[in-house]
Amino acid sequence: MDSRIDEIAAQIKTLEDELMAELRKKQDEFFYTLEDKKVKFQESVIDEGRAKIVSSIKYLSSFPVLAVLTIPFIWSMMIPALLVDIFVTIFQTACFPIYKIPKVKRSDYVMMDRHNLFYLDRVEKINCLYCEYFNGVIGYTREIAARTEQFWCPIKHSKPQKDMHSRYEKFFDFGDFQRYRKELKERRSDFKDLQEETEATKS
């Protein structure tokens, strides 16, 4: 059973790699390159995109009035997001070295780039700034929580989850007390895949 799960997990990883390869092809399709981790578009594409910018008033008027009135509620969520960002960063900085868990690289999750796109109007830029930060912090927090869970409680749930986090495949099956007691120490420190990934990125 475990071998089949490992096989499926390997297939998922292969598909993720293929997806990344396809996304890289989009760079050519939309005429941009990455130089020193910065996106650079062709000037002709920038000029064409800016010529098609929709005004902020026209953009907002495309939504129902009630949807526009929810904007203050949406932006109020930035306060807890900012607090979570600060506290989980402090948490992993203080605790992960003690647990001997590789730290989560924040920039792998919180990517602030879409709000600078040349074809967005001011309101669209603000919306993108909010979404990329908020969702980035959620992903960043989830990865920190996943690695923490692997250390403290690496046990799967009794029912399949709709969306499993990155460390879930390392967990013990629900009710498998024999392997849990026998392999807990080894399993809670099994972060070799993250270390190999970091070394591969550096090389």
> Is 173 inside any structural domain?
yes
pLDDT tens digits, one per residue of 162-195: 888 999 989 999 999 999 999 999 999 899 988 7
Length of the chain counted residue by residue: 203
> Is 162 inside any structural domain?
yes
pTM greater than the 0.85 cutoff: no
> Is 3 inside any structural domain?
no
Q: Which of the four pLDDT bands, split at 50, 70 and 90, describes residue 201?
A: low
The arithmetic mean of pLDDT across residues 51-79, rounded, is 89
Count: domains in the chain: 1
> Is 151 inside any structural domain?
yes
Domain that holds residue 137: 74-202
Q: Residue 64: left if φ>0, alpha if ψ -120 to 50, beta else—which one?
A: beta
> Is 47 inside any structural domain?
no
> Is 134 inside any structural domain?
yes
> Is 36 inside any structural domain?
no
